Amino acid sequence: MPPKCSTWNIPWGRDRVPVLTSASMGRVIAIANQKGGVGKTTTAISLAAALAIAERPTLLLDVDPQASSTKGLALRPGPGGEMYGVLTGEAQIEEILLPTELECLTVAPASRDLVGVEVELVAEKGREFPLSQAVARVRDRFDFILMSRQVVADIRAFFKEKVYRTIVPRNVRLGEAPSFGKPIMLYDIRSRGAESYLNLAREVIRHHEKTSARQRTEQPHP
């Protein structure tokens, strides 16, 4: 059975974010495309919400200078800060996490300060590692960690069978949901968009469980 996200009997971190511990290291998923305006944020928010509805502890990591995922869930950084502080070493990722309307969904928020973070880190030793280090600190607390990013490669040609097969069609309700600060499942659960992202979440969970089972069988026995 997947871990429940009930928070009545688990410790709480700063700003009342539940400190969940996943049974295994969380799977990191990048929502990637080389173009802007192609639905990366919508997919990140909707898939994260669908996984949370399936009672899988999920972290949505906003590394967008426009803070699209943060705004799309009607959130703003709290007293603990946001991803700019994490990437520059001014804050720990645990300090910035925000709860959402969905019990199993947590967000690491962003702000426009991220615009200049690459310039500020250009002379820093190990500047390419702060994001991976931040993820590593909380990876055992979540089943899934999602982020949207731009890349310069053709995704399907490069990743081949690792690309998920679920197709998400264009849908008016999907476009409307961010304006109301809600994932599609809370805005219109009966829409084609919601159905598609729930199907994608099922595919992600099946793939994760299959991979985890294979890794367990491949581990050497004492």
Task: Say what the pLDDT of residue 122 is.
Answer: 54
Topology annotation, domain 23-199 = Rossmann fold (3.40.50)
pTM for the model stands at 0.68
Task: Say what the pLDDT of residue 113 is.
Answer: 85
Answer whether residue 180 shows pLDDT above 70: yes
pLDDT tens per residue, range 51-68? 999 999 999 999 888 899
Sheet holding 58-61, edge to edge: 27-32, 144-149, 58-61, 105-108, 98-99
Domain ranges of the chain: 23-199
How far is 145 from 28, CA to CA, in rounded Å? Answer: 5
Answer whether residue 35 shows pLDDT above 80: no
Answer whether residue 26 shows pLDDT above 80: yes
Please report the DSSP string for 10-68 in residue order. S-B-GGG-B----SSPPEEEEEE-SSSSSSHHHHHHHHHHHHHHTT--EEEE---TT-H
183 vs 118, residue with greater confidence: 183
Task: Say what the pLDDT of residue 15 is.
Answer: 46
Q: Give the pLDDT band (50/70/90) at residue 10.
A: very low
Closest CA to 82 of 182, 71, 212, 216: 71
- Cβ distance 208 to 58 under 8 Å? no
How far is 183 from 177, CA to CA, in rounded Å? Answer: 6
